[in-house]
């Protein structure tokens, strides 16, 4: 059945590509969309079978002397196939109603089918060559999708170039790391690579190359610069797939490295992963908290969430090296729960952002407002996603971060100096990110959906088509369902990585015997209902006694005929935070004062502008690109068309070869 599921994905991908190519534009979405949703369903079913212990192999013979390409998902690969498949199916249903204009082109639908199928097959790959083949196919297809609207906006092409460049950096790092392991093992199959572990020079180099290669795809700081550029420019259903599914394959790769390929390495391995996660989590949520572009905010939030996942993996490596295997299992389980949680709420949020963009034509929070009454289902779905992203109770985000904190709190050891220092610092960083995440999504929801509209697009917004509403509702239901009944998720996580430090109490609760902790969201739900129901009943009773009346007063304490300009914007809401973290964020501020033409002492208008750039991009990447550009410009002088210079080059090269051979 595993083989049948893998072949079904390939067949559905081929069918979707053919339908996208031959069906007229008027019917293309209704033809290709269901086929692509079928790819996701087939992948989810195949992943569920692999997660349950089923085995199967698909061999693809090749002419190269490396043996056949193998597809054989493990339980861990099946877990990621399940997550990617569900996200892909929801995004495909959403795309049926969302795509229009350039997004409805043949190439976009074809690339979407290839993108989803290749992500599934990356998680199913059982040898290096097939893994890298589908990894590169995923990169090419996603680049084409980022370029979908390049003719409409000038910012799309630079974003695609950044993305393509970073994804190739990822590929070459992975090629180097896997090449070292394959050379040591004498085989490209994952089963052979699994025995090549140890603290040797080759293992250290392979570890660094693989972790950095996977980190680049996951959007980890400082390799994250493509993410806040590509996500806002891609169509929203593609942004959901890239954020909720594709970046998880980077996390999947890091887990493979530390649990299968290079087990039992040096202590600094865990510190490196934990450090990358710590910086990514804090920096990502800081940038998200001050961003006013909704999709850019969600992109930086992804960097924060991936940082928490790497933080959990690094903690697991450190704890396992210290012999605390039970708590290490809890930390690794927290990572997989974070993968599941992020897939659920980030799908909801990006689809909600797409609904807003389609209805208003705006991504700038400063120009939104009042959408709660105009787009009620979008507001409800986005609100649930925001609750999950802020890790509030009764959502899957709360469950995942609760498990992570349990591992970090119980992982501190007085007998190990590294753990005694690192774990409390990590707990503090997680607490900081949680607080900033709450502020960020209060800002995102409040500014977009509450108060008064700040633009004509927001004023005239209407609810999205049926398929979009269905997809948003399905994703939002996952956020709540997995938060209220996380026991099934706990079982899936334990089966995926063979963990004994986590279990379930039926469908509702999570049991962590390694740390003596138990979470039962049912009691939280009962407590919330006990507090909320009386308040609602009293409010409704007094609302009926005092009906609402419309009044029109000349002066009403600022509450009557208020202009939207008198209300908070996303920029003003985040201004105190931007000042507190001024040294880290480096904002550029301009205050333009326009005086009256009649008297310079009378002010006619004041304009405030604030521009926030990525510190790593401006301080690291742009200077490096400038240096390379200057070097290549200088290198042009070598090719000057003079034959005696070329003869001199050949003679110098010949002398260098002789010296090297002699030495």
CA atoms within 13 A on the CB side of 135: 29
Angle formed at CA 119 by CA 116 and CA 122, multiple of 5 degrees: 150
Q: How many Å apart are CA 73 and CA 78, to the nearest integer?
A: 6
pLDDT of residue 561: 54
Instruction: Name every residue whose Cβ is closer than 8 Å to that of residue 290 and which is 6 or more positions away in sequence.
Output: 574, 577, 578, 585, 587, 612
Instruction: Indicate the SS3 state at residue 400.
Output: helix
Read off the pLDDT of each residue in 277-298 and give the average, rounded to a whole number: 91
Contact between residue 386 and residue 445 where contact means Cβ atoms under 8 Å apart = yes
Read off the pLDDT of residues 612-629 as tens digits, 9 standing for 90 and up.
777 888 888 888 888 888
Coil vs helix vs strand at 345: helix
SS3 200: coil
Residues 6+ positions from 536 with CB-CB distance below 8 Å: none
In angstroms, the CA 311 to CA 326 distance is: 17
Cis, peptide link before residue 222, omega less than 30° from 0: yes
Three-state DSSP state, 560:
coil
Name the token pair of 232.
């806002």
Q: What are the angstrom distances between the C-alpha of 406 and each of 72, 288, 654, 659?
A: 34, 26, 64, 61
Are 288 and 444 contacting, i.e. CB atoms less than 8 angstroms apart? Answer: no
Residue 422 corresponds to which tokens in the numbers above? 């690192």
CB contact set of 37 (below 8 Å; sequence gap of 6+): 88, 89, 92, 93
Q: What angle do CA 249, 250, 253 make, to 5 degrees?
A: 85
CA separation for the pair 181, 53 (Å, rounded):
27
| pLDDT single digits (tens) 565-618 | 777 777 777 778 777 877 777 777 778 888 877 777 788 787 777 777 778 888
Cis peptide before 75 (omega within 30 of 0): no
Are 234 and 162 within 8 A, CB to CB? no
CA 641 – CA 190 distance, rounded (Å): 51
Instruction: Provide the pLDDT confidence category of residue 348 given band limits of 50, 70 and 90.
Output: very high
> Is 444's pLDDT higher than 70?
yes
For the residues 204-226, what does the mean pLDDT come to?
A: 91
Per the structure block, which two tokens stand in for 22? Answer: 């031959």
Angle between helices 25-51 and 106-124 (to 10 degrees): 10
Whether 236 shows a pLDDT value over 70: the answer reads yes
Angle at 37 between CA 33 and CA 38, to 5 degrees: 115
Alpha helices in 234-375 (DSSP H): 236-241, 247-256, 267-290, 294-321, 325-360, 371-374
Q: Tell me whether residue 525 is exposed, middle or buried, using C-beta atoms within 10 angstroms of its C-beta: 0 to 12, 13 to 18, 19 or more.
A: middle
How far apart, in whole angstroms, are the C-alpha atoms of residue 241 and residue 144? 14
The residues, ordered by sequence, that sit 6+ positions from 325 with a Cβ below 8 Å of its Cβ are 319, 501
pLDDT tens, 465-507? 999 999 999 999 999 999 888 888 888 888 888 888 787 777 7
pLDDT band at 240 (very low <50, low <70, confident <90, very high): very high
Domains of the chain by residue range: 324-539, 578-613, 619-662
Give the three-class secondary structure for 608. strand
Indicate whether 255 pLDDT > 90.
Answer: yes
Alpha-carbon distances of 286 from 225, 237, 439, 549, rounded to whole Å? 15, 25, 10, 43
Q: What is the pLDDT of residue 394?
A: 86
Tokens encoding 475: 């994703």
Contacts of 139 (CB under 8 A, 6+ apart): 164, 167, 168, 170, 171
Q: Which residue has the tokens 């861990």?
A: 76
pLDDT above 70 for 560:
no
pLDDT digits (tens, 9 = 90+) for 507-556: 778 888 888 888 887 777 788 778 888 888 888 877 777 766 666 555 55
Cβ(527)–Cβ(546) below 8 Å:
no
pLDDT digits (tens, 9 = 90+) for 328-340: 889 999 999 999 9
Give per-residue pLDDT as tens, 11-66: 999 999 999 888 888 888 888 889 999 999 999 999 999 988 888 888 888 777 77
Confidence of residue 150 (pLDDT cuts 50, 70, 90): confident
Concatenated DSSP letters of 50-119 = HHTT----EEE--SSTT--EEE---HHHHHHHHHHHHHHHHHHHHHHHH--GGGGSHHHHHHHHHHHHHH
* 390-430 confidence digits (pLDDT tens): 988 889 999 999 999 998 888 777 577 888 888 889 999 99
- List of E strands, 423-531: 503-505, 509-512, 517-519
Is the alpha carbon torsion for 375, 298, 291, 171 positive or negative? Answer: negative
pLDDT tens-digit readout, 365-374: 888 888 888 9
Question: pLDDT tens, 101-114?
Answer: 666 788 899 999 99
């Amino acid at each position: 059945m595993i083989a049948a599921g893998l072949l079904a994905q390939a067949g559905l991908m081929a069918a979707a590509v053919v339908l996208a190519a031959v069906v007229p534009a008027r019917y293309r979405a209704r033809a290709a969309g269901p086929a692509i949703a079928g790819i996701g369903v087939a992948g989810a079913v195949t992943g569920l079978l692999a997660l349950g212990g089923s085995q199967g192999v698909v061999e693809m013979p090749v002419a190269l002397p490396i043996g056949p390409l193998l597809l054989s998902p493990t339980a861990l690969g099946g877990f990621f196939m399940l997550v990617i498949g569900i996200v892909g199916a929801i995004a495909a249903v959403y795309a049926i109603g969302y795509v229009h204009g350039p997004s409805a082109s043949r190439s976009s639908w074809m690339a979407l089918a290839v993108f989803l199928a290749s992500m599934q097959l990356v998680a199913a790959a059982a040898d290096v060559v097939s893994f890298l083949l589908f990894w590169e196919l995923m990169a090419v297809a996603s680049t084409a999708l980022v370029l979908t609207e390049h003719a409409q906006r000038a910012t799309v092409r630079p974003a695609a170039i950044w993305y393509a460049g970073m994804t190739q950096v990822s590929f070459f790092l992975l090629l180097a790391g896997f090449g070292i392991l394959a050379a040591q093992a004498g085989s490209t199959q994952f089963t052979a690579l699994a025995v090549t572990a140890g603290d040797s020079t080759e293992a250290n180099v392979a570890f660094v190359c693989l972790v950095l290669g996977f980190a680049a795809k996951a959007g980890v700081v400082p390799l994250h610069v493509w993410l806040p550029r590509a996500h806002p420019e891609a169509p929203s259903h593609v942004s959901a797939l890239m954020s909720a599914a594709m970046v998880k394959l980077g996390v999947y790769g890091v887990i493979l490295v530390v649990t299968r390929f290079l087990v039992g390495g040096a202590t600094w391995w865990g510190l490196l992963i934990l450090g990358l996660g710590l910086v990514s989590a804090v920096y990502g949520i800081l940038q998200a908290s001050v961003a006013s572009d909704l999709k850019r905010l969600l992109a930086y939030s992804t960097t924060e969430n991936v940082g928490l996942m790497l933080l959990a993996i690094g903690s697991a490596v450190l704890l396992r090296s210290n012999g605390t295997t039970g708590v290490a299992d809890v930390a690794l389980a927290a990572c997989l729960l974070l993968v599941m949680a992020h897939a659920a709420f980030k799908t909801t949020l990006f689809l909600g952002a797409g609904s807003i963009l389609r209805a208003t034509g705006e991504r700038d929070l400063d120009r939104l407002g009042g959408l709660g009454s105009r787009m009620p289902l979008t507001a409800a779905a986005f609100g649930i996603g925001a609750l999950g992203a802020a890790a509030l109770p009764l959502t899957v985000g709360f469950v995942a971060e609760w498990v992570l904190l349990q591992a970090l709190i119980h992982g501190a050891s007085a007998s190990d100096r590294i753990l005694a220092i690192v774990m409390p610092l990590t707990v503090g960083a997680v607490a900081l990110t949680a607080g900033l995440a709450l502020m960020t999504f209060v800002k995102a929801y409040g500014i977009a959906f509450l108060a008064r509209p700040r633009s004509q697009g927001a004023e005239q917004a209407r609810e999205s088509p049926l398929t979009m509403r269905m997809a948003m509702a399905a994703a939002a239901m996952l956020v709540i369902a997995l938060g209220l009944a996380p026991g099934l998720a706990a079982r899936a996580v334990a089966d995926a990585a063979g963990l004994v430090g986590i279990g379930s109490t039926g469908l509702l609760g999570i049991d962590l015997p390694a740390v003596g902790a138990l979470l039962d969201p049912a009691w939280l739900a009962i407590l919330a209902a006990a507090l909320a129901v009386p308040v609602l009943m009293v409010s409704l009773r007094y609302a009926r006694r005092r009906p609402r009346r419309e009044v029109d007063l000349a002066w009403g304490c600022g509450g009557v005929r208020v202009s939207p300009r008198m209300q908070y914007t996303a920029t003003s809401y985040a201004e105190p935070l931007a000042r507190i973290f001024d040294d880290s964020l480096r904002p550029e501020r301009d205050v333009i004062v326009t005086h009256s033409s009649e008297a310079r002492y009378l002010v006619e208008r004041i304009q405030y502008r604030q521009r926030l750039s990525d510190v790593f991009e401006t301080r690291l990447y742009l200077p490096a690109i400038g240096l390379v550009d200057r070097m290549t410009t200088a290198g042009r002088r070598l090719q000057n068309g003079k034959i005696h210079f070329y003869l001199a080059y050949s003679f110098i090269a010949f002398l260098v070869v002789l010296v090297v051979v002699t030495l």
